[in-house]
């Protein structure tokens, strides 16, 4: 199953903030953590992650610092700020509202399987 790009984009901020709320991290480790948490179903690229991190940094939700790691290379670490924790709490409530609304809708309607049914008499693409 491929996840819609709009849904991935919409969930990027709370995912990054939640990962950083657990511990400071760097880009590649964040990519790996998203992959791990999603069971491999969400696989971000650098081109998707770094604009999110840079935007969160500009907004003051995360702070970045450079560290030299054992190999001697520099690595940019990100940490969530108190403002970022407040944004994460807001995002969490918004996602809970969306989730509970969808759960309520799905409990009350019957959704045909795309493999064996058609909606409104139209064939599924």
Q: What are 41-55's pLDDT values in tens digits?
A: 999 999 999 999 999
What span, in angstroms and rounded, lies between the C-alpha atoms of 23 and 67? 15
Q: Residue 63: helix, strand or coil by DSSP?
A: strand
Task: Name every residue whose Cβ is closer than 8 Å to that of residue 79 and which is 6 or more positions away in sequence.
Answer: 20, 24, 62, 63, 64, 65
- Give tens-digit pLDDT for 94-106: 999 999 999 999 9
64 near 57, Cβ under 8 Å?
yes
* Residue 118 CA: distances (Å) to CA of 11, 74, 105, 111: 30, 55, 19, 10
Tens digit of each residue's pLDDT (9 = 90 or more) over 68-122: 999 999 999 999 999 999 999 999 999 999 999 999 999 999 777 666 544 444 4
How do the domains of the chain map onto residue ranges? 5-108
Query: What string of DSSP letters covers 18-29?
Result: HHHHH--EEHHH
pTM of the model: 0.84
Q: How far apart are CA 82 and CA 89, in angstroms?
A: 11
Q: Could you say which of 1.10.760.10, 1.10.10.10, 3.40.190.10, 3.40.50.720 is the CATH number of the domain covering 5-108?
A: 1.10.10.10
């Amino acid at each position: 199953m491929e996840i819609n790009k709009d849904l991935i984009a919409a969930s990027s901020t709370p995912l990054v903030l939640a990962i950083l709320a657990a511990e400071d991290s760097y880009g590649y480790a964040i990519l790996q953590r998203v992959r791990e948490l999603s069971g491999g179903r969400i696989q971000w690229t650098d081109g998707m992650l770094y604009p999110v991190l840079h935007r969160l940094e500009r907004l003051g939700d995360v702070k970045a610092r450079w560290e030299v790691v054992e190999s001697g290379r520099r690595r940019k670490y990100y940490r969530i700020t108190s403002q970022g924790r407040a944004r994460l709490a807001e995002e969490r409530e918004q996602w809970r509202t969306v989730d509970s609304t969808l759960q309520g809708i799905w409990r009350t309607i019957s959704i045909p399987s795309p493999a064996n049914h058609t909606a409104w008499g139209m064939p599924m693409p």
